[in-house]
Amino acid sequence: MIAVDAGNTTIKVLKYSASGEAGPLQKWPASRWEECATWLSTQSEPIWISDSAGRSWPLGTVVDYRAPWSFTLDYTERVGSDRLAGMEGALVRYPGASILMVSCGTCLTFSYLHQGKRFQGGGIAPGWLARLRSMVDYTGSLPPLGVPDEAAWSSHSGMDPRTASTEESMHRGSLMGMIDQVRAEVQRFQHLDPDLKLILHGGDARALVGHIKNGIFADENWIALGLWSVATRS
């Protein structure tokens, strides 16, 4: 089968064998999703899609909160398929476990599963780039900035809080705000469930390495793996 993780920034496509072995990862910018759809139309395998941006795909099975997930939802309204597919993928690796997934992408999203059975949500906050952009959108003097190169991340998250420029102040403030929020929220979940597995993933997760204790920073395509799991049971 073919699993499509269609995010807000990037579309990731993986082919899986029946046993769950993944082939090479293919990527498209989100702005070129129709090119991805054209390529998918040339493939013969079943296609399963998780789309966090609400695009109208002309092919494949687009999953939502009503898909046959292996857990129940303690949630009063719709929940994003990316959160659910990611959790499904985590259960493939950690069956029966309590899991807290922290997705560090466009948004900073916390998703909690109790003992492999009940999805009980978690907070959603702006991601690193969204924090930077919001400072520009809601002020008249701060410069537009992107997320800095990975080589500079450690310099923006050290123990010395002093900065020497507006750009450095914005980068440090946005990154440390994200780190401190994740650290505090993880502690709250661990108070509820001391034995939970903590998984951090997404494009900015590497910026948290060394700041979050006992986290699993596995380079795993959790959403695609979850789509494979759902597809095998359908």
Identity of the residue numbered 227? L
Q: 112-165: per-residue pLDDT in tens?
A: 999 999 999 999 999 999 999 999 999 989 999 999 998 889 889 989 999 999
| Total structural domains within the chain | 1
- Residue 151, domain member (yes or no): no
Q: 186-227: per-residue pLDDT in tens?
A: 999 999 999 999 999 998 999 998 899 889 987 789 999 999
- Residue 141, domain member (yes or no): no
Give the percent of the chain with pLDDT over 90: 86
Average pLDDT over residues 48-71: 95
- Residue 118, domain member (yes or no): yes
Instruction: Determine contact, residues 2/14, Cβ cutoff 8 Å.
Output: yes
Question: Do the strands 72-73 and 61-62 form a parallel or antiparallel pair, or are they unpaired?
Answer: unpaired
b/e per residue, 150-189, with b = 16+ CB within 10 A?
eeebeebbeeeeeeeeeeebbbbbbbeebbebbeebbeeb
- Residue 135, domain member (yes or no): no
> 217: domain range?
2-124+181-233
Average pLDDT over residues 93-121: 95
| CATH number for the domain harbouring residue 100 | 3.30.420.40
Average pLDDT over residues 39-63: 96
Identity of the residue numbered 24? P
Q: 15-32: per-residue pLDDT in tens?
A: 999 888 999 999 999 999
What mean pLDDT is reported for the chain?
94
- Number of Cα atoms under 13 Å in the Cβ half of residue 60: 30
